């Protein structure tokens, strides 16, 4: 910086002006479909625009679990084959061989869904079964069946027990109780919560479900590892609860005669849905899994109405919220199987080619619409009706104006010189504009709600303080010093400012990292953004401006403080 | 009119002894801590927990009925409490946690009952979630304080001045928290935000003071006085902004409806900054002067007749 150069040509000042102009553009101009629009880009929160919010907890746990695969086979097949004397012959990494005293077929064993099997008779009665399966899979299946919930394998390292995501509320104790009969237990670590993928999947499914039925854009924000916050603008809280927490009603019915159908089961008995896949390399289909109750219901209905004998006359039809989404007859093979045993795993075939694939994708969504990947429960909610939000907005604006006035009065009483007061207030004001500009950038999208506005006012408070530090440091002794002294004083002022700003930033960090509250997170984020803008953009420019303006006055005489 | 009377500050800096400077803040800190302890014994928490940390449902609405009448009318819902909320007909009803169908029924009943159904505000917190928030809030405050202290130690790298700053900040927070107890403000998300803000912000004047006193040459009294003028200006501008926020959000002015989160933040920060004036310019000045006197062992302040840089 040289003395000849006027302050308004200084790069720091130019940079501030540029950023302010950019911010004004970010606030007022939007671009879509090749055209520019003028209008406010500020996004207001529910407490200013009106609407309801729901915070939901995703119930689940991530646990490392060990168990004896042989015991699981004995337990499960003991029940399925009604044989308490199952003998395990051999357990390897990818297969298990056991002997049952019952006569059974490969088809029956396969229908249990434990993997492909080899079945041979044993001399002297009974059957030897070799299952292509693994310990991880068996534990997963055991947990799924006993918890009646979806269980996903996350990691399986050889040598260490596998880690699962259990999509249901469980505790270490409840898991240990379930695992006791198969010599299993939870091996810490155990964590309440779900994986990031599950959180995202739930978020996506909720969005798919809610956005079509809402007039305004619904936003869903993940908070921490286990929570989703749903903002429903313009919706009352009773309505919000109904929309978000009631699953769609999915139903499977069976054709009795002509148009007459009978209820078989509801969507809550579908425990798993696969991705669309080509069955036998030709037709597309979606696999889904029923729980025991559902499998029994289907079997009973199929037998009762004769679908097992004449599948073609007794279609199975699927309804979502009472409208038909899919119907097809039982496959002949399934019809035969189901007669002897309840079938839990089946595939709905939708046809060949692109059309079949498209239909399979839709059906997959429908099958799932009844249930989110995990159970959720409401942990918090609230409603601010639009007229009240409007009133809040007005009051906040008034608060801003009064604050500006009072701060101006204090600053004016202290400094009495327009060429200090005006740059000071202008710098603070430019900070507000930059914060709002950054908040309205499309890829940042910080919304303005009561908490963030409180944050902005707080930031402006600290901002003015820092300008006061600069001013007083520069004016120490009452004179505008020569440039060299000025430089060292500015440096001193900035040591104080950097220190003060860093304490504010670190003090706010725990709100972002340790609290599952979006309001507080917004408050902390905007405060940190504001402090950084002030420290790195606005205050350096102010230091230059104040020097430029005061040099002019000093030429005329001394700077007087009294 | 002068914002700050320089003569008075000069006299204060010159005449107040170390003991005088420490005794007032010490009494204040003791008082704050006793209030917090008393509240702890009364409620099980040093600051009384609000709905956000206890769980339950709060409904804010307009009704011509008195709180007592409403209490009888809604007695079938769990744990009903009714209070006047702000001026006019605004009331707040609070309930213990209940299941969601009952909640829907309650909200509908209130909406049909209210004289102004368009302005019925509801807030609801699950019991388990609010308990976990409670733990998180305590953790956030403790960690925030530790972070702040670490930054202070990194900046000054000397024990006594750093401790002086940290003690002042602690006393500010204790006082602000104690005042929420005195004025019946429950711990809310807003007060937690404000307490954290206070942790980061109240040390600003302490940093100013410490840096000026330790890193500048010159007469100690003049340095203290100058720092004090700057610092008091800072605190006053901040107070001005906060008072504006409080006026508009407190519900005390009838044309404004109460806005809890803004009110909570402004009240906590106002009390915090009032305490900060005392703690910075008494506690911190006291400790720092004692420290500087001890390390330099030359500063014998008997009389300082010479004044440099007289101001016009």
Q: Do B193 and A398 touch (CB under 8 A)?
A: no
Q: pLDDT averaged over chain A?
A: 82
Q: Specify which residues A254 forms β-bridges with.
A: A262, A316
Instruction: Report pTM.
Output: 0.79
Q: What angle do CA A161, A162, A163 make, to 5 degrees?
A: 120
| Whether pLDDT at A296 is above 60 | yes
Average pLDDT of the residues in A211-234: 81
Query: Higher-confidence residue: B39 or A318?
Result: B39
Best mutation site among A55, A241, A394, A499 for testing chain B: the one with the most B CBs within 10 Å? A499
SS3 A429: helix
B204–chain A nearest CA distance, Å: 5
**Pairing state between β A375-384 and A127-132:** unpaired
Q: Do B143 and A514 touch (CB under 8 A)?
A: yes
The percent of residues in chain A predicted with pLDDT above 90, rounded, is 17
A226–chain B nearest CA distance, Å: 11
pLDDT at residue B297, rounded to an integer: 64
In the 8-state DSSP scheme, what is residue A246?
S
Residue A525: closest CA among chain B residues belongs to which residue?
A: B193
Q: Do B211 and A492 touch (CB under 8 A)?
A: yes
Domain parsing of chain A, residue ranges: 7-50+385-556, 62-195, 250-359
| Whether pLDDT at A323 is above 90 | no
Best mutation site among B162, B196, B249 for testing chain A: the one with the most A CBs within 10 Å? B196
At A214, the pLDDT band (50, 70, 90 cuts) reads: low
DSSP of A277-306: EEETTTEEEEEEEE-HHHHHHHHHHHHHTT
Place of tokens 């849905």: A273
A121 interface with B at CB cutoff 8 Å:
no
A397 interface with B at CB cutoff 8 Å:
no
- Residues 6 or more apart in contact with residue A411 via CB below 8 angstroms: A420, A421, A424, A425, A464, A468, B233, B237
pLDDT at residue B269, rounded to an integer: 94
Residue A520: closest CA among chain B residues belongs to which residue?
A: B193
At A126, the pLDDT band (50, 70, 90 cuts) reads: confident
A341 interface with B at CB cutoff 8 Å:
no
Show the domains of chain B with their CATH numbers.
6-49+129-296 (1.20.1640.10), 56-125 (3.30.70)
Tell me which chain B residues have a C-beta less than 8 angstroms from the C-beta of A379: 125-126, 128-129
> What whole-number distance in Å separates Cα of residue A446 and Cα of residue A424?
27
Per residue in A342-395, pLDDT (tens digit) is 888 888 888 888 888 888 877 777 776 656 777 788 888 899 999 999 999 999
Cα-based distances in Å from A516 to A62, A135, A222, B259: 19, 37, 9, 22
Place of tokens 């024990």: B159
Query: Higher-confidence residue: A62 or A242?
Result: A62
Per residue in B39-81, pLDDT (tens digit) is 999 998 999 998 889 889 999 999 888 889 999 999 989 889 8
pLDDT at residue A562, rounded to an integer: 37
Among the partner-chain residues B2, B211, B312, the one whose CB lies closest to the CB of A560 is B312
SS (H, E, C) B119-145: HCEEEEECHHHHHHHHHHHHHHHHHHH
Q: For residue B102, count CB atoms less than 10 angstroms from its CB and return exposed for 0-12, middle for 13-18, buried for 19 or more.
A: middle
> What whole-number distance in Å separates Cα of residue A196 and Cα of residue A416?
57
pLDDT at residue B238, rounded to an integer: 92
Considering only A351-360, A472-481, A512-521, B300-309, which range has the smallest mean pLDDT? B300-309
Tell me which chain B residues have a C-beta less than 8 angstroms from the C-beta of A245: 100
**Pairing state between β A323-328 and A375-384:** unpaired
pLDDT at residue A369, rounded to an integer: 61
SS3 A51: strand
Q: Do A507 and B199 touch (CB under 8 A)?
A: yes
Q: Do B248 and A523 touch (CB under 8 A)?
A: no
Q: Do B197 and A507 touch (CB under 8 A)?
A: yes
pLDDT at residue A288, rounded to an integer: 86
Query: Higher-confidence residue: A424 or A125?
Result: A424
Residue B234: closest CA among chain A residues belongs to which residue?
A: A465
Helix axes A135-147, A69-81, angle to 10 degrees: 50
CATH architecture of structural domain A7-50+385-556: Up-down Bundle (1.20)
Tell me which chain A residues have a C-beta less than 8 angstroms from the C-beta of B247: 399, 402
Q: Do B238 and A461 touch (CB under 8 A)?
A: yes
Average pLDDT of the residues in A47-60: 88
pLDDT at residue A559, rounded to an integer: 43
**Helix residue ranges per DSSP H, B183-202:** 189-201
pLDDT at residue B225, rounded to an integer: 92
pLDDT at residue A2, rounded to an integer: 46
Q: Say if residues A187 and A65 touch (Cβ distance below 8 Å).
A: yes
Q: Per-residue confidence of chain B (312 residues) as pLDDT tens digits?
A: 678 888 888 888 888 888 888 899 999 999 999 999 999 999 989 999 988 898 899 999 998 888 899 999 999 898 898 988 877 788 899 998 888 788 888 988 898 888 888 889 999 888 888 888 898 999 999 999 999 999 999 999 999 999 999 999 999 999 999 999 999 899 999 999 999 999 988 899 999 999 999 888 888 889 999 999 999 999 999 999 999 999 999 888 878 889 999 999 999 999 999 999 999 999 999 999 999 888 876 445 444 455 444 444
Q: Do B257 and A388 touch (CB under 8 A)?
A: yes
Q: Do A241 and B100 touch (CB under 8 A)?
A: yes
Tell me which chain A residues have a C-beta less than 8 angstroms from the C-beta of B176: none
A392 interface with B at CB cutoff 8 Å:
yes
Q: Do B144 and A238 touch (CB under 8 A)?
A: no
ipTM of model:
0.88
Residue B262: closest CA among chain A residues belongs to which residue?
A: A454
Q: Do B237 and A558 touch (CB under 8 A)?
A: no
In the 8-state DSSP scheme, what is residue A211?
G
């Amino acid at each position: 910086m040289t003395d000849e150069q006027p302050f308004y040509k200084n790069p720091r000042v130019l940079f501030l002006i540029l950023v302010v102009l950019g911010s004004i553009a970010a606030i007022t101009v939007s671009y879509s479909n090749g055209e520019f629009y003028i209008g406010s880009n500020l996004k207001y929160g529910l407490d200013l625009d009106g609407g309801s919010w729901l915070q939901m907890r995703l119930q689940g746990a991530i646990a490392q679990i060990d168990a004896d695969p042989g015991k699981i086979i004995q337990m499960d097949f003991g029940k399925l084959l009604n044989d308490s004397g199952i003998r395990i012959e051999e357990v390897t990494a990818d297969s298990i061989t056991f002997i049952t005293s019952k006569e059974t077929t490969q088809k029956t064993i396969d229908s249990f869904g434990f993997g492909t099997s080899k079945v041979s008779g044993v001399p002297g009665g009974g059957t030897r079964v070799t299952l292509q399966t693994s310990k991880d899979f068996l534990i997963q299946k055991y947990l799924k069946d006993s918890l009646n919930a979806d269980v996903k394998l996350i990691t399986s390292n050889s040598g260490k027990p596998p880690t699962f995501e259990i999509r249901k509320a469980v505790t270490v104790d409840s898991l240990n109780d379930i695992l006791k009969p198969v010599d299993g237990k939870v091996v810490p670590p155990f964590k309440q919560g779900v994986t990031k993928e599950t959180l995202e999947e739930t978020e996506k499914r909720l969005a798919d479900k809610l956005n079509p039925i809402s007039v305004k854009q619904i936003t869903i924000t993940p908070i921490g590892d286990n929570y989703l916050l749903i903002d429903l603008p313009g919706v009352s809280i009773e309505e919000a609860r109904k929309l978000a927490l009631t699953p769609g009603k999915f139903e499977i019915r069976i054709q009795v005669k002509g148009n007459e159908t009978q209820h078989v089961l509801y969507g809550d008995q579908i425990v798993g849905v696969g991705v669309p896949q080509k069955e036998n390399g030709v037709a597309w289909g979606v696999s889904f899994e029923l729980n025991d109750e559902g499998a029994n219901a289907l079997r009973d209905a199929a037998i009762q109405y004769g679908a097992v004998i004449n599948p073609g006359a007794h279609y199975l039809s699927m309804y979502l919220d009472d409208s038909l989404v899919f119907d097809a007859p039982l496959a002949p093979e399934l019809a035969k199987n189901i007669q002897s045993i309840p079938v839990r795993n089946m595939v709905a075939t939708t046809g060949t080619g692109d059309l079949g694939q498209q239909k399979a994708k839709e059906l997959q969504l429908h099958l799932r619409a009844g249930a989110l990947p995990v159970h959720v429960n409401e942990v918090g909610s609230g409603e601010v009706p639009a007229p009240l939000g409007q009133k809040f907005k007005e009051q906040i604006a008034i608060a801003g104006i009064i604050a500006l006035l009072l701060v101006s009065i204090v600053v004016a009483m202290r400094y009495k010189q327009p060429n200090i007061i005006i740059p000071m207030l202008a710098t603070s004001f430019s900070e507000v504009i930059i914060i709002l500009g950054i908040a309205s950038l499309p890829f940042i999208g910080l919304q303005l709600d009561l908490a963030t506005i409180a944050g902005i006012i707080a930031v402006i408070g600290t901002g003015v303080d820092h300008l006061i530090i600069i001013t007083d440091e520069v004016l120490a002794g009452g004179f505008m010093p020569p440039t060299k002294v000025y430089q060292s004083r500015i440096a001193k002022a900035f040591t104080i400012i950097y220190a003060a700003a860093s304490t504010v930033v670190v003090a706010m960090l725990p709100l972002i990292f340790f609290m599952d509250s979006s309001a507080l997170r917004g408050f902390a984020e905007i405060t940190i953004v504001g402090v950084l803008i002030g420290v790195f953009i606005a205050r350096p420019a102010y230091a230059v401006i104040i020097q430029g303006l005061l040099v002019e006055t000093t030429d005329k005489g001394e700077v007087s403080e009294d | 009119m002068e914002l700050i009377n320089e003569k008075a500050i000069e006299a204060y800096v010159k005449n107040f002894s170390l003991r005088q400077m420490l005794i007032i803040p010490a009494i204040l800190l003791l008082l704050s801590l006793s209030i917090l302890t008393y509240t702890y014994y009364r409620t099980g928490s040093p600051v009384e927990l609000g709905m956000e940390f206890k769980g339950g449902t709060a409904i804010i609405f307009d009704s011509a009925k008195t709180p007592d009448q409403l209490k009888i009318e809604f007695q079938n819902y769990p744990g009903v409490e009714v209070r006047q909320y702000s001026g006019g007909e605004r009331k707040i009803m609070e309930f213990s946690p209940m299941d969601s169908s009952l909640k829907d029924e309650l909200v509908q009943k209130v909406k049909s009952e209210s004289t102004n159904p368009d302005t019925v505000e509801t807030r609801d917190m699950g019991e388990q979630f609010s308990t976990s928030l409670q733990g998180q809030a305590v953790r956030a405050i403790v960690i925030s304080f530790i972070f702040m202290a670490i930054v202070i130690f990194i900046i000054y790298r000397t024990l006594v001045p750093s401790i002086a700053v940290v003690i002042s900040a602690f006393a500010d927070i204790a006082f602000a928290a104690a005042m929420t107890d005195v004025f019946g403000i429950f711990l809310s998300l807003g007060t937690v935000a404000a307490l954290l803000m206070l942790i980061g912000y109240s040390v600003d004047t302490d940093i100013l003071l410490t840096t000026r006193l330790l890193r500048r040459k010159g007469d100690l009294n003049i340095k203290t006085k100058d720092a004090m003028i700057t610092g008091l200006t800072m605190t006053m501008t901040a107070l001005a902004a906060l008072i504006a926020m409080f006026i508009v959000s407190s519900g005390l002015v009838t044309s404004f409806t109460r806005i809890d989160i803004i009110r909570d933040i402004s009240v906590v920060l106002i009390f915090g900054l009032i305490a900060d004036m005392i703690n910075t310019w008494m506690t911190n000045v006291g400790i720092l002067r004692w420290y500087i006197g001890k390390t330099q062992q030359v500063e014998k302040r008997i009389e300082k007749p010479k004044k440099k840089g007289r101001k016009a």
